Structures are given as structure tokens and as C-alpha cells.
Structure 1
Amino acid sequence: GSPNVSLNAVATRSYIEYLYRPTQDGGTTEFNPSTSPGLELPVWLRLQRRGDLFTSMRSQDGTAWTRISSGTVDLPDTLLVGLNTNADRDEAGSLLSVSYSGLGDTSTYLTLADMGLTLTDIGNPVEAGYAVTPDGPGDIDVLAGGLRTWDTSDSFTFIHEQKTGDFDVQVRVDAASQLGNPGGDPKAALMARENLTAGSANVSLNVVPTRQYIEYLYRPTQGGGTTEFNPSTSPGLAYPQWIRLQRVGDNFVSWRSADGREWNQISEGEVVLPETLFVGLNTNADRDEAGSLIEVRYRDFGDYVAAPPVTAPTLMVSRSGSTLILAWPDSAGSFVVEGTGSLIPPISWTQVPGSPSIGGGQVTFLIPISGGTSYFRLREE
């Protein structure tokens, strides 16, 4: 009857479930969500504890992790941790055979401290912020509440470091989703601020998924109102979305990119701020109540470094009946095929489903031809 947290692969139901028993001999309770559908072996499971917050994750390769759910369970500091195996039928001859491998601490796990970053909840949000670092340096999944970063006072989760003088930072926003009780205009953002009080002067470059745009705002003085740069918004939003915040003296410049290579300036303006600022990721749900959250997948956060030039491979296009055939040299590197129905900006490229075949020194990708006009491109992975 021990209190516990359990992350279970359930083959007969083809899902992964996440459950807990909060008290001795108490009932079993479901996290929210409690299941993650689909089960294809091999599958990697990961259970992480941060204080009383327990987080479940899954992966198909042990490298790229998807968060399932998080929840608070009040358990002792020292726990028995390991593998739970049961046949769900307690009678003679009823058995379950499982092959486990790789049990142990997650080798790719990094903490925010390892990256030189700190998480601070500013303005006392009802839902405290939480972050995991699933893949590597600069890759951070954030779960946050908070009211907003607007007007004279802020309420949000800030993951930050200090920078002195000029800087140029970037991040790729892979996804931003509202959880629990959706509402308002949640934000995933780059921010530079004078201090860690709620009314600090700041500059913020915000991805706003509900509005389908990027906005650029600042508060010039402690406790002052929020002001818009000119222009303050850049319409259109498709993931992944790169954003970049640059400081040169008192001039702050905002940028956006669809691929991390070609950058378009949004706006710039002068804001007189101290030489040393707190710089990092601003995440807020824009609805400060229990259960209102935003989940953001940030990737490649760090100093901007111009991407090396890519030599485009020779792309060969042919047709066989109702199938379009794309082919390129396999020595050109690793690429994915993306498609769109229009080349009118803002262009939304999505990855085309399918698996390329390799042979004879080239990569071949088959695309069924459907009605309408479509455009395709190769994007380096």
C-alpha cells in the first residue's frame, strides 16, 4: 500500500499511463493527462523528480523526449526507484515477460544550472514555473502560469542569465500550447530586464500563438507603462519559429526567421537601460489562476551565431503516374522534405510525411500527387 508514482507501458491498451498513490493504503490517482496513446516497441520511459514535482516523458530513440504530464506528489526525500513489472492476473501460470535495457540516470540530462541559467517566478504567479532540459544545451521545455508581461507590473516565469554590454541572443520556439483552462494571449519570449522585480524596465520579443504574430514591446522605467516599438508586431506564425534579440548600446533590435539562417528585422528602437541586464526566456499563460498554463518547447537558446552556408544539393524531379519523385545525392547531407500550398508571405512550410530510400548514391523521396498546387523544398536537419 506504499505511496508511489508509476509510469507504465501498457501493451494491451497500446498506451503509456502515469499514475500515483499519494498516501499509505490510499487509492490510486491519475495525473492529468494520465495516458499517452500509441505504443511501438522499443519505447523509452523517463521519470523525473524536481522537489515534489514528478514529470513523465517518453521517447522513440532515447534522445528526443516528449513530455507526457507533470504533477505534485508529497513524498519523502529518499525513495525506492526501479522497475515495476506485473502480469495483471495473479494466478498460477499467468506471467509477463519483459526485456528491459539501459536502466539508469538519464545520460543527456542537464540542469538549468549546468547551462548557467536560473528560473525565477516574477510577480508571484499562481502556477509556479517548471522547466526540464530534455535534449541538450539550449533546449528547454517550460510549463508556466502567470498573468502577463504588460502595463506596470509583470507575472511570469523567467529563465535567465546576466549579460553586460552588447549581446545578441536567439531561440527556436518549436511549439507553444495552452493547457488546463485556456484563455488570454500566452507568450513565449526573449526578454532583457533591469532587475527581477515585477515592475522592472525591460525589452521583450514575444511569440503570441493566439494572435498568430510576434510582438515587440518595452517598459522604459521601473513601474512605468509598457510601450510598443514601431512597428510593434510582425504577422504570421508557423513552427518552428526563430526569434532573436540584439543589443548595441542603447539600441535594441528584434529579428525573426523561419529557418535560423535567413533573418528578417522586425523593429528597433532606443531604450536606456543599465549596462548589465538579466537576459533570457519569458513564459506566461496570460491567465493567472490554478490550472491555467502554457507549455513551450524552446530549442537552441543562446548567443546568436551565424549559421554556416549550406551548399544546396542538385535536386532531381520526375513523375511516375500519380507519384512525384524527388531525388538528391546522399553525400549532400541530411535533409527533410517540406511542402506548402502558397508562396505568398508569410509562408508556412510543413514536413511532408514519408520515409526516403537510399541507394545507388542518391536519396529518393516519393510524394503522391493530389489536386491543387503544391511547392516543395529540402531543409537541412
Structure 2
Amino acid sequence: MRSCSVSGSVTAVAGGYNITAGGTNIFGAADQFTFNYELVDGNFDYKVRLAGLTLADAWSKAGLMGRQTLDSNSVYACSLATPSVSGAYFQWRTTTGGGTSNSGNFLVNYPNTWLRLQRTNNLFTSYASLDGNAWFQLGSATVSMTNSIYVGMAVSASVINGSANPTIAAQFRDLATVTGGTIGTSLPDFEPPGPSSRKTPFAITEIMYKPFPATNASGGSFEFIEIFNSNPFFEEISRFRLSGDIDYTFPQGTFVQGGQYIVVAKDPTALTAYYGLSGMPVF
């Protein structure tokens, strides 16, 4: 496999690849992303498990792509997943330099977000799954390509931010040809995390109180609260306060990106080391 990168890297690890990427998006008339690919002849049916995807934007994305050329405006079809609120979906471009189309929406549940892309002549079909066996179709489209195309794993931070160029990290595992499995007749109903009152974009999605084990060997506590911004855009929470059994005031300049999780921990250092947290703000 080879890598074609705007700003990123591809690292082979046990069971798959870790890819870091910048880039402005995979969308519209042109794309900017990191691509780990090989030339594939004829029909194919590939699946991969996306074990993790960090967030730079609610539309940061990673997935399986089939692409005619490595030009930024090439025709393509891809199964994509986002870090949280935007879910997984099918996207394609049918004309060089033309716009893109999307279909489907499926919840993401890392480390068990599975994506699948199938080619039958010029018909490309996209699927998603939570176990790599029970598949749900996200959509299909006819995209005219030659017999030999570039197929692989695509990642884009999907951020346009002046001179800054944030990167994201995607963990691809268990890439394989599809064998067996089932296909559902309709996408399952699901409700993404969000506030029960619908009056605020924030929701407390997890409370860990008196866990087992409660501390590390040095006495560092593993208690925490997880908070989620269900909006697709950022919110500032500078000087906002959690009070009661926990008492914490967010420092000045605290922003929570759209679709981002944050954690307020009793002992941030102990919690981060124990759970191996990365790419998530811990206060």
C-alpha cells in the first residue's frame, strides 16, 4: 500500500493502520485528505473496522474510498464515518470537478464502527455495521470509472482555519474482503446523545462515581463526568461551573467543539493514564 497525503502519516500496526490527517474536506468540487490506497481491478467488496476517530470538527471523517484518480476533483464513492454527532454515511461524486451527494445515516460506536464499500461494475454500494456481520445499506450510486481504480482508507480533518492545520487520528482495523453476513432492509432507529430538555446542546453522557478499582496504586482517583456537545458547532463554556458533590469551574477560553466529548475528572492525570485517553479534553 502507498500513501498520498496533504498533511498526515500512515503507520502499519498490529491488525491494521493508524492514519493521521489534516485537510480541508472530502466534499464539494475538490478534496483534501490523506489516502492509503492500492490499485484494484474490477469488482470488490471490502470492509474495515474503524476503532477510533478523533475530532477536529463535527464533519471530520474517515472511511473506505474508491477513486478514479488522485486528482483533488476526481470522481469517487466512499463509506465515511465522523467522530460523533454526524454519524456514518455514503458519499459520491459522479463528474470530475462536480458536486458531491450523500445518503444514509448510521450511528457511530467506537471501537465498533464498521464500514463497507462494494463495487459491481459501475454500481457502488455503501454499508455500515456495529459488528461487521449485520449490515445496513447507506445507499448506492452509479459512478462511471475504469476497470482499475484507487481503493483504500481516506481521512480528512475537514477544517478550514486560516494558517492553522489541525490533524486527526483514525484507527483502521480488520480490513478484509466481505464474506457472509446479513443485510438489513432498513436502517435502525437511534437517538444520538443529547439533552433530555432540548433547551441546551449539552448533555452529561456518563458519570463514574466510586468505580472499581477506585484508584491507581498511588491513590489517584478514577471518578469522572463526561459531557457532550450535541450541536454541530462549538460552544464556549468559560467560567461555567459544576457544583454539588463535584465543584469545578471551567477556565477562561474553554470551547467545546461541535460533536465533541469532554471529561471532568477528580484526578485528570490518573484517569488519562488508566483509560489511555487521547484526543479528548480532560479537565
**TM class, shorter-length:** 0.5 to 0.7
Question: Letter of the aligned partner of 2:14 in structure 1?
Answer: D
Whole-angstrom distance in 2 between the partners of 1:278 and 1:183: 26
Match of 2:66 in 1: 192
Unmatched 5+ stretches in structure 1:
1-116, 308-342, 356-381
How many Å apart are 1:202 and its aligned residue? 0.6
How many Å apart are 1:354 and its aligned residue? 8.3
Whole-angstrom distance in 1 between the partners of 2:192 and 2:23: 31
Q: Summarize deviations over 1:164-203 as a string: whole Å, max 9, x none.
A: 111001110011012xxx3351001111100011111111
The answer on 1:241 being equivalent to 2:113 is: yes
Q: How many residues align?
A: 188
Q: Summarize deviations over 1:135-154 as a string: whole Å, max 9, x none.
A: 14xx1111110000111111
Match of 1:287 in 2: 159
Match of 1:260 in 2: 132
**Retained in 2: the 8 A contact 1:184–1:285?**
no
Q: Summarize deviations over 1:44-94 as a string: whole Å, max 9, x none.
A: xxxxxxxxxxxxxxxxxxxxxxxxxxxxxxxxxxxxxxxxxxxxxxxxxxx
CA RMSD for the aligned pairs? Answer: 2.6
Match of 1:72 in 2: none
Whole-angstrom distance in 2 between the partners of 1:265 and 1:184: 23
Match of 1:375 in 2: none
Q: Choose 1 or 2 for highest CA Rg.
A: 1
Give the alignment of 1:230-379 within 5 angstroms.
Answer: 232-239=103-110, 240-288=112-160, 289-306=163-180, 345=190
How many Å apart are 1:306 and its aligned residue? 3.1
Q: Summarize deviations over 1:5-50 as a string: whole Å, max 9, x none.
A: xxxxxxxxxxxxxxxxxxxxxxxxxxxxxxxxxxxxxxxxxxxxxx
Match of 1:25 in 2: none
Whole-angstrom distance in 2 between the partners of 1:233 and 1:344: 12
Distance 1:241 1:187, change over 3 A: same
Match of 1:156 in 2: 33
Q: Summarize deviations over 1:306-340 as a string: whole Å, max 9, x none.
A: 36xxxxxxxxxxxxxxxxxxxxxxxxxxxxxxxxx
Question: Letter of the aligned partner of 1:237 in structure 2?
Answer: V
User: Does 1 or 2 have the higher relative contact order (CA < 8 Å, sep 6+)?
Assistant: 2
The answer on 1:132 being equivalent to 2:11 is: yes
**Residue 97 of structure 2 aligns to a residue in which SS?**
coil
Whole-angstrom distance in 2 between the partners of 1:277 and 1:262: 27
User: Aligned match of 1:227 in 101, 119, 138?
Assistant: 101
TM-score (norm 2): 0.61
Match of 1:100 in 2: none
Question: Letter of the aligned partner of 1:204 in structure 2?
Answer: C
Give me the identity figure in percent.
28
TM-score (norm 1): 0.46
How many Å apart are 1:344 and its aligned residue? 6.6
Question: Letter of the aligned partner of 1:168 in structure 2?
Answer: D
How many Å apart are 1:225 and its aligned residue? 1.4
**Residue 256 of structure 1 aligns to a residue in which SS?**
strand
Unmatched 5+ stretches in structure 2:
182-187, 194-210, 214-283
